[in-house]
Structure 1
């Protein structure tokens, strides 16, 4: 089952609030490295196989035209390998999301491209 804009809370419900079907707002204040604050992110979806506290998720920040991704922290070997291609700043992180979330990520990208 793919959870994309279904108006359902299957994982991490404490971070979400129901608005209208297909639209959820994150209650936390999401700060970017520039110090900007987005008071509301548009929830796109979560890992369809998540359970409880394991909930890789994707949001779109319409104000900044950015994608916000929650995933698993990468191990040191992965971080070291990624830095061969792109140095990692103190304000950045390397995360992993399962491949089964490809459709959710595409949805976020398509939403941004259309805005």
Structure 2
């Protein structure tokens, strides 16, 4: 896997580091960010997962909160993945 660093939360301190990378082999966007607390997980479950989907969070998945001010970094990552012509 060839990960390419895209950006880090510009508001981060040294002890927190929401970060975004692109897997240049698979075209995936990799995000390190804040785990959802139980209140947010409960809200996600209450909102549902759409028709024909179980309303649960499988053990191999997680809910994360991505700060709104990181959207420019995520856009940059999506553009990089698209340029890799892997999508």
TM range (shorter): 0.7 to 0.9
TM-score, reference length from structure 2 = 0.79
Asked whether 1:112 is paired with 2:85, we answer: no
Asked whether 1:56 is paired with 2:18, we answer: yes
Instruction: Give the gaps of 5 or more residues in structure 2.
Output: 50-54
Name 1:47's counterpart in structure 2: 9
Instruction: Point out 4+ residue stretches in structure 1 off by more than 4 angstroms.
Output: none
Q: 1:55 to 1:87 in 2, by over 3 A?
A: same
> What is the CA distance between 1:48 and its match in structure 2?
0.3
Instruction: Give the gaps of 5 or more residues in structure 1.
Output: 1-37
Asked whether 1:90 is paired with 2:52, we answer: no
Larger relative contact order (Cα-Cα within 8 Å, sequence gap ≥ 6): 2
Q: How does 1:1-115 map to 2 (within 5 A)?
A: 38=1, 40-83=2-45, 84-85=48-49, 87-115=56-84
Higher helix share: 2
Over the residues paired in the alignment, what is the CA RMSD in angstroms?
1.4
Distance in 1 between residues matched to 2:80 and 2:69, nearest whole Å: 19
> What is the CA distance between 1:97 and its match in structure 2?
1.9
